[in-house]
Amino acid sequence: MSKHLIVGAGPVGTATARLLAERGEDVTVATRSGAAAAPLPGIRHLRLDATDAAALTEAATGAAVLYNCANPAYHRWATDWPPLAAALLQAAERTGAVLATVGNLYGYGAVDGPMTEATPLAPNSVKGRVRARMWQDAHALHQEGRIRATEIRGSDYLGPGAQSILGDRILPRLLAGRSIQVLGSPDTPHSWTYTVDAARLLVAVGGDERAWGRPWHVPGNAPRTQRQVVEDLARTAGIPTVRVAPIPGAAVALLGLVNPLLRATRETVYQLRQPFVMDSTAAQEAFGLKSTPWEEILSAVVDSYRARTAS
């Protein structure tokens, strides 16, 4: 049994904790509140400000792996991520724990084809530069032999509780039979990442020295447009599909004046205006992982939402 420290209790962090606990590992989840939305057997919850490098180091002492599953507010990445990332690097160096980070595809910027782990980091947004710098800093320390680091990268999430551009954000309207507006184009191919698949890969790369020193893409299903995802969710829920249309650009700009979250999406909406497709062949071949079947993901999303609203 090894010790594992997970920073963050969002859908990926929670799924990671569950997978490790089921394997019989010693698991602690650290969050600012120390509370658990749904306490799990065999998992301790720790109240911790992870930007405090000394406190984080103390919590990570003896850990085999330190998992970065944190998720600062979307519109605060530029201010909240740097001190948190710095503390994680310090804790990894001081304790010798492998640093396994949940990343994303923002660092690649706008691309002309499917993204692989070899796609150059060329961010075209503030948030993309933040995420690219996080990996570059970790990789540099890894190359110097000061830490052992790896990173998984996924696209927009689907899964129970995932606060993504689809999923819980559109399910209330869909189940009520109301039309849905989406950012960008409803009809461009887009990769989607299931939160549990991200957790499976995170656990795999944290414990496998072959994975250290490079990023890995989370195994995923074939790309689907936003319109297709809405139609798929409606079919899974057993209800008629609804009208899907893009949010007018002028409306996004106007609402962004009062809504910081929506304002923060303006620099990354390119991901939804053109094909945004991720290739995960490398991780599938290296670790023998496959994506969860699409229909199973859809059922998990719909069933979870209905269970939560019923309770």
Give the model's confidence band at 165: pLDDT under 50 very low, under 70 low, under 90 confident, else very high.
Answer: confident
The pLDDT of residue 170 is above 80: yes
Residue 257 has what pLDDT?
62
Number of domains in the chain: 1
Higher-confidence residue: 252 or 193? Answer: 193
**Would residue 227 count as lying in a domain?**
no
Q: Classify residue 58: in a domain, yes or no.
A: yes
Q: What is the pLDDT of residue 242?
A: 95
- Evaluate if residue 236 carries a pLDDT over 80: yes
Residue 309 lies in a domain: no
In a domain, 86, yes or no: yes
- The CA distance from 147 to 152, in Å, is 17
pLDDT digits (tens, 9 = 90+) for 86-118: 999 999 999 999 999 999 999 999 999 999 999
Q: What is the CATH number of the domain that holds 102?
A: 3.40.50.720
The model's pLDDT over 196-216, given as tens digits with 9 standing for 90+, comes to 999 999 999 999 999 999 999
What secondary structure letter does DSSP report for 293? P
Please check whether residue 265 lies inside any domain of the structure.
no
> Looking at residue 102, what is its pLDDT?
98
- Assess if residue 260 is contained within a domain: no
CA within 13 Å, CB half, 225:
13
Residue 149 lies in a domain: yes
Is residue 69 scored above 80 in pLDDT?
A: yes
Mind listing the pLDDT tens digit for each residue in 258-298? 667 667 778 899 999 999 999 999 999 999 999 999 999 99
In a domain, 51, yes or no: yes
Q: Global pTM?
A: 0.95
Per-residue confidence at 42, pLDDT binned at 50, 70, 90? confident
* Interatomic CA distance for residues 142 and 15, integer angstroms: 26
Share in percent of the chain as helix, strand, coil (round to 5):
45, 20, 35
Residue 38 has pLDDT above 70, yes or no: no
| Domain membership of residue 214 as a residue range | 3-155+192-220+279-292
251 pLDDT higher than 70: no
> Which one has a higher pLDDT value, 121 or 169?
121
